[in-house]
Amino acid sequence: MLNKNDYVPLYEQLRKLLRRQILKGEYKNGDLLPSENELMKMYGITRTTIRKAMEALVREGLVQQIHGRGTFVRFQEITKTVWNFQGFSSLVKERNEIPISKVFQHEVIRKNGEAYLKLRRLRGMSRDDQITWMTLDDSELPLRRFPGLDQYRFEQRSLYATLEKDYQCPPRFVNLDIIPVLSDEELMDYFGLPSIKPLLKAKGQVYDEDGHQIETVSVVYSPVFAFKLARSL
């Protein structure tokens, strides 16, 4: 249940609890959540606290409140994008292709006294002995959060699968800036571009389900990728 003496605020505990239940499917899409009055009794806390938790869930888009009716699960899905959370590897595998990575940089760097694993990888797929490179990405991951992560070899291994399986820390949120850039010589070479072309770059942070930052990324996409954005309000 909720722990009133935890250093984590009650509204935050409740928010996480409800979110877990929704994501686990205990409350399904369209379901009615317990009313605020019921939650008061269930957890022995006041409505103000409950409403603070609800407010966050509404902002996350997990839940919808309707005046006079109640609070409903509303698992609205945004985006069928290039960005997916199983990571690049499974995206490629889904298409029955073989993912390939070339690691250009793999080192431990320091920033503000913190150690990070810095990766620079060219990523693509192999088909009929043809290799198509699709993205160039830079990642930084805090080693304090992922001790020993720098010992893995990411030529063969999926970064996100490692985070999920070996660290129980699956990526859950992103916060990205989408920026148009011009291809430089390096990129033209990698992506096989005949001339300077405008490309898309995504830059930002990746978070786990508790909202803690687990990665900063910067990805340049080859033109073979279509960037789709579907969104519902």
**Interacting residues toward DNA by CB under 7 A:** 4, 9-12, 33, 35-38, 44-49, 51-52, 54, 65-71
Q: Which two tokens stand for residue 14?
A: 């409740």
**141: helix, strand or coil:** strand
Q: Given the rule CB under 8 A, which of 90-98, 110-118, 160-168, 193-201 is the region that contacts a second copy?
A: 193-201
Query: What one-character DSSP code corresponds to residue 32?
Result: B
Do the beta carbons of residue 54 and residue 65 sit within 8 Å? yes
Q: Which is nearer to a second copy, 66 or 98 (CB)?
A: 66
Cα torsion through 14, 16, 21, 27, rounded to 10: 70
Choosing among DNA, a second copy, none, which partner's interface includes residue 173 (Cβ < 5 to 8 Å by kind)?
a second copy
Residue 174: name its binding partner from DNA, a second copy, none (Cβ under 5 to 8 Å by kind): a second copy
CB of 37 to DNA, least distance (A): 4
- Report, in Å, the least distance between residue 180 CB and a second copy: 4
Sign of CA dihedral 33, 74, 15, 56: negative
Cβ distance to DNA smaller for residue 94 or 186: 94
Q: Is 198 in the site for a second copy (CB under 8 A)?
A: yes
Contact set for a second copy, span 81-100 (CB under 8 A): 81, 83, 85
For residue 176, the tally of other CB atoms under 10 A from its CB is 16
- Determine, following the binding rule CB under 8 A, whether residue 174 of this chain makes contact with a second copy: yes
Q: How far is the CB of 53 from DNA (least distance, A)?
A: 8
Which of 78/103 has CB closer to a second copy? 78
The Cα-based distances of 62 to 12, 50, 230 in angstroms read 15, 15, 17
Determine which helix (DSSP H) or strand (DSSP E) holds 116, and give its type and residue range: strand 114-127
Cα separation, 231 vs 217, whole angstroms: 23
* Contact mark string toward a second copy, 3..42, x via CB under 8 A: ----------------------------------------
| Chain CA centroid to CA 2, Å | 27
Return the SS3 of 206: strand
Is 134 a binder of a second copy (CB under 8 A)? no
Which of 54, 98, 61, 99 shows the shortest CA–CA distance to 79? Answer: 61
Q: Which is nearer to DNA, 47 or 212 (CB)?
A: 47
CB nearer DNA, residue 65 or residue 162: 65
- What residues line the site for a second copy (CB under 8 A)? 48, 60-61, 78-79, 81, 83, 85, 172-182, 197-200, 202, 204, 226-233
